[in-house]
Structure 1
């Protein structure tokens, strides 16, 4: 029954954030439903952060909550180095995609982007990506490791991460590669954390770099040819997201292949911050 608190935490926090956000109508009756949803999500995340220290103390029997989820900042230089290692790796992965499209003649030109777009890319990293990594690779991964062990925990957490991005506005033929790519991306990020010996900063750098750089690409920094096959840039013509593209999934698979050997040497570390069983953890 240890899984019940894990399941009920967000079943409580998300509706609570949604209910509290309704009070915004008192100050702005014309607010859009999209903005209201964003406000509700922010409130839920703030409540989550408020609950997290007590959760670590009671659930995980640790007083070092931030260390447990991989956000140790005692050694700021090491944390910064780990972050940039992840970020540089994201640049490398994007570069592979860029060169593939360039050599195939699918890039018309490079263009400048507005300063505001750069700020938006930074906000994506600081805001959305940082929050996602705390929730998924931080808290949820520790929970999965506690309940199921590292190997099964990584698979389950990656599955939940993928399904959490479910979209009802795209067809099934686009949804399958999109969720597949997200599942593989979740595996890459989880293995990144184990390779970094439990630190979350490398995941933030890798995830943030991919999201931020692609946002700049999509904002006009790279002008792709109209002849570019849709499966190179996304799972469908109406959805440009390389995580669900053929080339994106291929890059993720190669990344997993090379990460696996490193994981075999460091994979046990992740569960050491909680009382997980280490039996049969190495894949």
Structure 2
């Protein structure tokens, strides 16, 4: 693929205004590391402030409600996060699917809402440890892709897929580059089935315990177009280590 690696930091439920200094440091470094596209998804409460402080990188949201508005106490719509300064939204993260019981159908509704609001969307997929051990990894991910990805003419240009093997998060098990390449190639095939020729250019990110120490190996796997980074994105020092690794990988 000829597009720049896409390195996205998902801050999850972390961050107050005290962390704006980390965002500023990442933003300044991104000015030099132009061979990588860098993004951060802070909590809702920090989207506006982070957008004001970090002007060179992309700022996004971690989720949104599928409706435009209404009686949904505590929820935030796609239009609202865009108004706050978001340029993309993550949907279908494994923690949303597990903790909130989000279905593929709901994730698809959210993805459509994000695109209709004028933003790009990152759709997350991935199998659990039980599903992988049962030999169902590919079929589970295929079902998630077919059920979660938005449809329509030109939609593929707005979509990024993030593969996050749930079994590799906090379990001590780490996927090999071969594991990752095999799944990403499988996802690429599904994307071409779903989107036709446009599916060739949809970026596929890897997410799952990405750190500066393993980033180069993970990012060099076939069909890996970047990374969705969790804990290692919370400080500029560790996140920039991953961005530098992506830069060096892109130069090879």
**TM-score for the superposition, normalised by structure 1:** 0.25
Name the structure where helix makes up a greater proportion of residues. Answer: 1
The structure with more radius of gyration = 1
Name the structure where strand makes up a greater proportion of residues. Answer: 2
Where relative contact order (Cα < 8 A, 6+ residues apart) is larger, the structure is 1
**TM-score for the superposition, normalised by structure 2:** 0.27
